[in-house]
Structure 1
Amino acid sequence: MPYRPPISEALSFLWEELESGNRELAELTARDVWPAFLRFGRQRFDTAATPDCDGLLFQYGTYAFGGPSMFTLDLTRQFDLNDAEGEHDHYVQVHCELRYEPQASLRNLGTFDAWFFHDADCDLDAWADSLSGHLELLQDHKPAEIILYEEPI
């Protein structure tokens, strides 16, 4: 089996993919971030070989998490971490959030989410293609900010 880096390096891999276009994070749009996220999504990490241990999540909606209401496109990678006995212990999520100023056209999109899991007999390219219509809705909008972070859940 080819080398798979540890999950602890996942956030760094995402940063590297976003920086590979030689543009500042503040200059990027969904059109720039999506291919970088997919390249990150293709990089396999050292996870258990179970169908739900390595997932990608595409989701959006208008939320107010401790601040003003923002439309958020959240591209997330979720890893299932097991304990010494091989049982589920917790998840680690790596997020790339594109936050947009509230606009009626974005609020009217409502909420949406779609998951992809490696090792679950799914095709990453087919999943990505199925989301192209949702991405087109965001192409004309510049995010107010892009935030990358990792969190245990």
Structure 2
Amino acid sequence: MPDRARVEEALGALRAELAAGQPEMTEWTTRDTWLAFMRFGRTRFDTAPTPDSDGLLFQFGTYAFSGRPMFTVDLTRQFDVSDDCGEHDHYVQVHCELRYGPEPDLDALGSFDSWFFHDAGADLDEWFAAMEGRLALLLGHRPAETDLYEEPV
């Protein structure tokens, strides 16, 4: 699709959306980040017109990836990358991780994940509304750490 951004531009597009709300990462609240992720999630990229080529993943839980337990919200965009013959080669994921210090209310949420795929027939606004409901306890909070990165999977 010539009018769509290239997958290689996705991390930059997410950074731009986040900076549009608050230029300094230390000032981003969960609400700021969520609104930016929704704008980013609505942007279409040049992917194959298949139901699993462009997906959004919302997940959270308490994990000790950095050595100490932190409640982590991971907002992810996953793209299917095809080879020159049009066959699946690998996926690229663009992550925005929000980490919060341990709090009993957050730990009580347990873990959760939900996928949305463009071109699969589901309603994006309904999915966003349902996921925002899962963030209700955090919307006014500022994460202790925020990490933006891209990785092949």
User: TM-score, normalised to structure 2's length?
Assistant: 0.94
1:82 paired with 2:102, answer: no
Letter in 2 for 1:101: G
Deviations 1:42-61 (A, max 9, x none): 11111111000000011100
1:136 paired with 2:136, answer: yes
Alpha-carbon distance in 2 for matches of 1:140, 1:16 = 21
Q: Which residues of structure 2 form unaligned runs of 5+? A: none
What residue number does 1:29 align with?
Answer: 29
Structure 1 pair 140–35 and aligned structure 2 pair: CA distance change class (3 A):
closer
What residue number does 1:102 align with?
Answer: 102
CA drift at 1:99: 0.5
Letter in 2 for 1:41: G
CA drift at 1:104: 1.4
CA drift at 1:66: 4.3
What residue number does 1:14 align with?
Answer: 14
Deviations 1:3-39 (A, max 9, x none): 1111110000000000002441111111111111011
What residue number does 1:151 align with?
Answer: 151
Q: SS at 2:135's partner residue?
A: helix
Alpha-carbon distance in 1 for matches of 2:17, 2:133 = 23
Letter in 2 for 1:100: Y
Give the RMSD, CA atoms, in angstroms: 1.3
Q: Which residues of structure 1 form unaligned runs of 5+? A: none
Q: SS at 1:38's partner residue?
A: helix
CA drift at 1:141: 3.1
What residue number does 1:49 align with?
Answer: 49
Alpha-carbon distance in 2 for matches of 1:150, 1:114 = 19
Would you say how many aligned residue pairs link Structure 1 and Structure 2? Answer: 153
Alpha-carbon distance in 2 for matches of 1:46, 1:133 = 30
